[in-house]
Amino acid sequence: MSPLSSPRIPPRTKRTLLPIPPGLWFWAGFLTFNFLLFLPLYLLNAQDAAFLPSVPLQRLLTRDNPDIFRFNLEISLLLLLFLLARPLWRASRRKWVSRAFFLLHLLTLLYAIYESVILSLYHTSPILYNDIRFFISGVGFLIDGLRLSAWQLLLIALTLVIAFLLLYKLIILWFMRVPVERMGRASRLAAIALILLFLALTLTQGRAAAQPASELNSLSAKLLANTRASLLAREDVQAYDRIHPEAIYDYARTTRLFRKPNIYLIFIESYGSVLYKRSHFTNDYLALMAEMEARLRDGGWTMETGLSRSPTWGGGSWMAYTSAEFGLYISSQPQFLAIKDRFIRQPYPSLGRYLQTQGYHHVRLAPIQRALSAAEDEANDALYGPDRWLRFADLDYQGPLYGWGPSPPDQFTLNKARELLRSQSPFPLFLVYLTQNSHYPWAPLPPLTANWRDLNDPNWPSPPPIGEPIPHRDNIKHYREAIRYQWETLSQLILDTPASEDAIFILIGDHQPPRVSRRADSFDTPIHILARDHDFPPRFETYGFEPGLVVSDLRQDMQHEGFYAMFIRELAGAYGASAAPLPYLPQGIQLHLPTPTP
């Protein structure tokens, strides 16, 4: 060969992925594309879930363990039909099918992510009508609470874009390069058998395909179920336009208080009945309650405890405390916004507004550092109608901030607020507060000091950031410590109340704690009523309350929305008079029953 001549180039051959049997490539892709759709739910629950299905064979079709070894009906059928349909072997049609498959897979994956977040954080089925309003109104608060910089948000967005692009490339490569035309008879028979099996399961299981626990999931079934639930949710919201609370809670006209003790209504964040129901909490919790009970009894306090069913799970504190103060079941953001929209100009006859008619000074304490917009402040003023808001700026706090807010330590916030109110506000007092330091992730906690004023020191070291993800055992430990911190803080606040001050403390959980509880633990939260008047707390035993700080019967039926009527009934019975016996409304206002018109 002469130096100027070109070497012979072999003819170009069609590329394949690797010299691996076509059937192996097809089934590997088939399983990967299916299992990927169930990965979000598994990852969000990996701390509690088994990787492999650990159930008897007869329970494989429906199992609670959120493992990834499941199938999506639409994705599976499209892949199997691609194997069997010969016309799709042509390259031009493969490209069209691959792009259509990517769009379907992306839609299914996005729905799976959405569904996984709702199931994992709130233990409820996704209802788009509710969830989209919750997201729109809460995403800014969430981002602010996570304290993510613009660069971090951009990095997250870029990561998602890159992940979706990689998925797109993988799907195109798989469809274009896997030689399905060379698949053997065994693979084709297996594909036909699977198609028949999936269709049979769809016909026999019906709506079960919409449930995440089903072995065979269906996006179309999920969307149909979500649509039905959303239409019902819209009807529920419309029901709020038909209520007349002024006809139900007509206490200002019919009830008068002669003795007016100060009332402290404190909602304890993430304080749930899971403390009674999980072995890793129960012993520590009962020991803590025995310690607190002895301390408070020695200080002259009488206490009664019950359980109350919250309308929310793992989040949405504002819905829980609004339900309790308004005597109205509010379990979703659209319901809350419907109430907010309707009663922004028409005052709702809430607990706070009734007490104002009896001469109480209604104060709400909100120490979160982040300031709301002027419009949000105005809407909250109109909804709750307090005489005064105490906010972060009012506390003159210079020390480090903690928790989700972020906010000052609860020990400082509560004591500083009471100091301000004693010097600046008239009594009797009705104070409403939601604790901050038992909010997830429950760490790092502020220190407890002998003198709460010592916390207001800029030289205190800032709390270290806590990384994600947090191991389950650490979540359990942090939650136990947070509940102890809250009780140490609250018990000292109660004990520091002067004997000359006539006071009632109501301590109630807003909802179950996320991450360390499950739906099987119920929606119940502890509620405690404490007073130096030894005759007042026992009045609540007729509602299932028990003396002390613990309950022995976990089957109580009280609900947050029943608290308002219950409390006013007993408050008036002990310290006032009413034109007629006040009814107890265990479920608050009945939305779906006719209500009296004014």
d(CA 458, CA 450): 18
pLDDT one-digit tens code per residue, 34-51: 999 999 999 888 877 788
- Is residue 141 over pLDDT 60? no
Instruction: Report yes or no: 195 and 77 within 8 Å, Cβ to Cβ.
Output: yes
Average pLDDT over residues 519-528: 91
* pLDDT-derived band at 137, boundaries 50, 70, 90: low
Give the three-state DSSP class for 114: helix
Examine residue 444 and say whether the peptide bond preceding it is cis (omega within 30 degrees of 0). yes
* pLDDT-derived band at 13, boundaries 50, 70, 90: very low
- Is residue 502 over pLDDT 60? yes
C-alpha 36: how far from chain center: 25
Examine residue 441 and say whether the peptide bond preceding it is cis (omega within 30 degrees of 0). yes
Instruction: Report yes or no: 526 and 271 within 8 Å, Cβ to Cβ.
Output: yes
Higher-confidence position of 234 and 146 = 234
pLDDT score, position 143: 57
Average pLDDT over residues 269-279: 95
Name the least confident of 8-12, 38-42, 179-183, 400-404: 8-12
Contacting residues for 423 by C-beta, under 8 A, at least 6 apart: none
- Is residue 326 over pLDDT 80? yes
pLDDT score, position 597: 34
**Torsion-angle region of 349 (φ positive above 0: left; ψ -120 to 50: alpha; else: beta):** beta
Nearest to 127 by CA among 214, 254, 196, 225: 225
CATH 3.30.160.160 fits 243-459+472-578, yes or no: no
Q: Give whole-number Cα distances, 202 to 84, 389, 451, in Å.
A: 21, 56, 65
For helices 410-424 and 472-495, angle between their N-to-C axes, nearest 10 degrees: 30
DSSP string, 497-547: S-TTS-EEEEEEE-SPPSSS--GGG-SEEEEEEEESSTTSGGGGGGGT-EE
pLDDT score, position 598: 31
DSSP string, 220-254: HHHHHHHHHHHHHHHHHHHHGGG--HHHH--HHHH
Q: Domain spans of the chain?
A: 22-235, 243-459+472-578
d(CA 63, CA 60): 6
pLDDT score, position 148: 59
Average pLDDT over residues 389-405: 91
Average pLDDT over residues 482-505: 96
d(CA 348, CA 386): 12
Is beta strand 388-391 parallel, antiparallel or unpaired with respect to 361-366?
parallel
Nearest to 438 by CA among 475, 395, 388, 396: 475
Instruction: Report yes or no: 141 and 404 within 8 Å, Cβ to Cβ.
Output: no
Strand extents, DSSP E, 95-239: 216-217
For helices 185-205 and 73-84, angle between their N-to-C axes, nearest 10 degrees: 150
pLDDT score, position 135: 74
H-helix segments, 299-409: 317-326, 333-342, 351-357, 374-384, 392-395
Looking at this protein, which amino acid is placed at residue 478? H
pLDDT score, position 139: 59
Higher-confidence position of 60 and 436 = 436
* pLDDT-derived band at 147, boundaries 50, 70, 90: low
d(CA 294, CA 413): 25
Mean of pLDDT over the chain: 87
pLDDT score, position 86: 64
Instruction: Report yes or no: 53 and 69 within 8 Å, Cβ to Cβ.
Output: yes
Residues 62, 67, 71, CA angle at the centre, nearest 5°? 65
- Is residue 145 over pLDDT 60? no
> Of all helices (H) and strands (E), which one includes residue 267?
strand 262-268
Average pLDDT over residues 17-29: 76
Contacting residues for 347 by C-beta, under 8 A, at least 6 apart: 353, 382, 385
Name the least confident of 195-204, 310-319, 406-415, 462-471: 462-471
DSSP string, 1-30: --TTSPPPPPPP----S-SS-HHHHHHHHH
- Is residue 408 over pLDDT 70? yes
> Of all helices (H) and strands (E), which one includes residue 484?
helix 472-495
Instruction: Report yes or no: 215 and 62 within 8 Å, Cβ to Cβ.
Output: yes
Give the three-state DSSP class for 423: helix
pLDDT score, position 401: 93
pLDDT one-digit tens code per residue, 232-247: 888 888 888 888 999 9
Per the DSSP assignment, residues forming a β-bridge with 431 are 264, 363
pLDDT above 70 covers what percent of the chain? 90
- Is residue 169 over pLDDT 60? yes
Give the three-state DSSP class for 330: coil
Is beta strand 503-509 parallel, antiparallel or unpaired with respect to 262-268?
parallel
> Of all helices (H) and strands (E), which one includes residue 136?
helix 128-146
| Torsion angle in degrees (nearest 10) through CA of 354, 358, 361, 365 | -30
pLDDT score, position 14: 46
d(CA 484, CA 490): 10
pLDDT score, position 564: 98
Examine residue 347 and say whether the peptide bond preceding it is cis (omega within 30 degrees of 0). no
- Is residue 581 over pLDDT 70? yes
pLDDT score, position 592: 59
Contacting residues for 541 by C-beta, under 8 A, at least 6 apart: 304, 547
Average pLDDT over residues 420-435: 89
* pLDDT-derived band at 194, boundaries 50, 70, 90: very high
d(CA 74, CA 223): 13
pLDDT score, position 441: 87
pLDDT one-digit tens code per residue, 328-352: 999 888 888 889 888 988 899 999 9
Higher-confidence position of 60 and 349 = 349
